[in-house]
Structure 1
């Protein structure tokens, strides 16, 4: 992966088509980014789960464009694409054939049911042990051929889980990898991979066999020139362990920890995480999902009745959630949990900028820390434009996540790019993407509960410098950079002044 900022974007919501999104990337973001994660553009991109329920995972939705449009973007930016490994749409050709023909369908082994995993039946203990990020059990009764079956549906009744260990399941996944590699994609994000392997008597989530599956799919991807990013929300110790076995893992603990630190002025929990977190991480503050809290909170209850401590205590997590609701003036409460049709148990729905109460300084501090910690930073398109909560879209759809999925017209993007906070954020992104210090060594310098200094030094003699200093109590923050005419320093609110001092083309993407 290019060691630069990568944008996360729905092409239908920022540009309208893949081609128009590519034009906006080049004209509006330029060398501030080195890559782009194009959220699902498969057929259909606007299903029950915003594209994460593909009917045909190997076809670009013609309303958005073609594979050639993806290749055109990949000539300027590294492209990340979602690979939905856990499930497929109930409207897919494969599952429709199973519904019509039952066990006579060649695709019958491709889909999981209750009896597939529990051939001898399931006890109450078996069923309650299954981990699911939403209320209720992961099964939907369906008429399959002449039989009525309980099909395994982890997320919605229209997303049927795949038996990834079956022959047709394996062939299906390899077909997707071939299509993505042929289109110039650089990295695949394994969506919901933690749920992909089911075994009777387990949680059916991130069990040992899941890691074996990830190894197999990573090997197949690497053979095709693709890197792999694993998407798993879980206890922070699980993330550290997962990172040792994959190419890239998300740092999902960073977003809630930064909010907690900015809300309280206490950086203790964040400091601990910075000392133990994996460095092969994609850092995010916002994504197409909500703001996760499970990654910083306590772990799942163990069989012995104990629960692993989190980076934050249960009380701190509760206070964090309530503070987000307060700073958004109740908007996030309307979009979270049972208040909206999105019932994920581990997230609050809000834009990150709104979660900070629209505080420009706090927002720039959060982004600066994201860019300075080791890893490759990704910035969600709404976050890149410091967007607020879209209450009109939420009211129109009733889908909680839509509060953070605004539909920008090209003119609206150009207008937002002129806002002062967005200009400074773009300067931060350009520094992170082009300054040679970030190809060097990272140091966590003076750090305690109240202040922190993060530094990068690159070059043969350490001549390339990038340093971030933050005081959590006063919210004073500044960046110091090496430049052509000597070191330069500026507060975050005026970091764009530093960009003008940097030589053009100091580092390629």
Structure 2
């Protein structure tokens, strides 16, 4: 089972400027005792593809520039180790797809990849195409000429360099089985099912989170469990979908939490946050920031389904992020950047809060007191600001929050009061026994109280958004300790 302690989300090379061994040294050195586990973002060949490793050429190989499977084993020996099973797609540069491009249907790898014809053998109507849900604008099909003289419409949910896998056929099953087995043999004990909501496509549907998708997640989770690994479903969707998915897998992400915390801090109103914390899945990972942007769709309405926030509140949320970041986030989001996302704002969480140290600690405290196991992204750990130089160089919107660090930057960051305050919050979350107990929450418009209780041990976070006051109260028997978040900055 995953430890109930704060976990780190990071790339091996971007946090250290080096490799997997350097990451292990950092965790056992300056960050000793801080994290119970690591979500090691794609370390596959190559780490520097068009989507920072989420377009693997060889999903079963470690990029030799940052290490080997032996290095993965060493890291996983001391920490919970999470890796991404990229369920939906593989790189167009993979040897399998290159063989398909060269030979067409004569390729022995033809069945591995999904085409329009596979799902719509009798042709696709305009209505059927419009019904397909895609996280980016435009068609989800890319016509590509092959060596047999034919041009085929390959399914490309995300980009034309990420070719969707046909997970229903033997070739797709074998491909993912190979990766799962490799993970299991090398001390990976948690699998993040990346983009799993898009894996199953059926004619006449929106091809996203279908009933068959839930069945598929059940089987994939059972398969990973049999190999000794837990699974985490990574799905950005309506909040009720997360509640439903949570019943089918080991854990889900609480992607509604980050925008709801921002909304509370922006409006001094905790109603939506409290409503969510009363119904949110308990078997979840909590995040504020990740290698992706700040999810918006997870708190908002979808179609005729009302959201935790309404459309006007979502618009205000997005515009406030842009204003707080001096419009840097606007330069990295939507049509301004090459990776156009319909449901995310690209910005560091710290800059989304206007680089306000107190607000940032309040946000982290709420995250740590919310149900679930908290994860902290490496940029968030060091309160990193938007990397406009990297964005200008790559023109990839998400790179605004994917900085390259080194030992000097880390040393300087660790000295910042906000980072020292965050480390103290992490210590409280990792060591207080009550976090293994029962959770409850209550609120009244501009304030909320998040409480954990185990036997005679209790810990409570009280936040008054209007007065910008936040207090942690620890009670054991007749003893009581009060910690103001303002004090953590001094």
Shorter-chain TM-score tier: over 0.9
Q: Which residue of 1 aligns with 2:428?
A: 431
CA distance in 2, matches of 1:309, 1:234: 12
Q: Which residue of 1 aligns with 2:231?
A: 228
Q: Secondary structure at the match of 1:183?
A: coil
Query: How far is 1:44 from its partner?
Result: 0.3
CA distance in 2, matches of 1:210, 1:253: 21
**Mapped contact 1:468–1:478 kept (Cα < 8 A):** yes
Q: Which residue of 1 aligns with 2:48?
A: 46
CA distance in 2, matches of 1:330, 1:383: 19
Q: Which residue of 2 aligns with 1:136?
A: 138
CA distance in 1, matches of 2:56, 2:462: 45
Query: How far is 1:475 from its partner?
Result: 1.3
**Mapped contact 1:4–1:33 kept (Cα < 8 A):** yes
1:14 matched to 2:15 = yes
Task: Select 1:278's aligned residue among 276, 281, 286.
Answer: 281
Q: Which residue of 2 aligns with 1:470?
A: 463
Bigger shift: 403-412 or 488-497? Answer: 488-497
Q: Which residue of 1 aligns with 2:347?
A: 350
Query: How far is 1:452 from its partner?
Result: 1.1
Query: How far is 1:14 from its partner?
Result: 0.6
Q: Which residue of 1 aligns with 2:413?
A: 416
Deviations 1:252-288 (A, max 9, x none): 0000110010000011111111111111111110000
Q: Which residue of 1 aligns with 2:221?
A: 218
**Mapped contact 1:286–1:380 kept (Cα < 8 A):** yes
Task: Select 2:308's aligned residue among 308, 311, 326.
Answer: 311
CA distance in 2, matches of 1:190, 1:486: 44
Task: Select 1:451's aligned residue among 447, 451, 472.
Answer: 447
CA distance in 2, matches of 1:431, 1:237: 31
Q: Which residue of 2 aligns with 1:250?
A: 253
1:395 matched to 2:392 = yes
Query: How far is 1:334 from its partner?
Result: 0.6
Matches within 5 A, 1:249-398: 249-299=252-302, 301=303, 307-398=304-395
**Mapped contact 1:428–1:496 kept (Cα < 8 A):** no
Q: Which residue of 2 aligns with 1:92?
A: 94
1:488 matched to 2:456 = no
Q: Secondary structure at the match of 1:32?
A: coil
CA distance in 2, matches of 1:125, 1:238: 24
**Runs (4+) of structure 1 moved beyond 4 Å?**
482-485
CA distance in 1, matches of 2:403, 2:97: 32
Q: TM-score, normalised by structure 1?
A: 0.94
CA distance in 2, matches of 1:327, 1:413: 25
CA distance in 1, matches of 2:103, 2:396: 34
Query: How far is 1:101 from its partner?
Result: 2.1
Q: Secondary structure at the match of 1:488?
A: strand
**Which structure 2 residue ranges, 5 or more long, are not aligned?**
none
Count how many residue pairs are aligned between Structure 1 and Structure 2. Answer: 487
Query: How far is 1:93 from its partner?
Result: 1.5
Q: Secondary structure at the match of 1:28?
A: coil
**Mapped contact 1:31–1:433 kept (Cα < 8 A):** no
CA distance in 2, matches of 1:410, 1:156: 34
CA gap of 1:24–1:483, structure 2 versus 1, over 3 A, is: farther
Q: Secondary structure at the match of 2:393?
A: helix
Query: How far is 1:141 from its partner?
Result: 1.1
Query: How far is 1:28 from its partner?
Result: 2.4
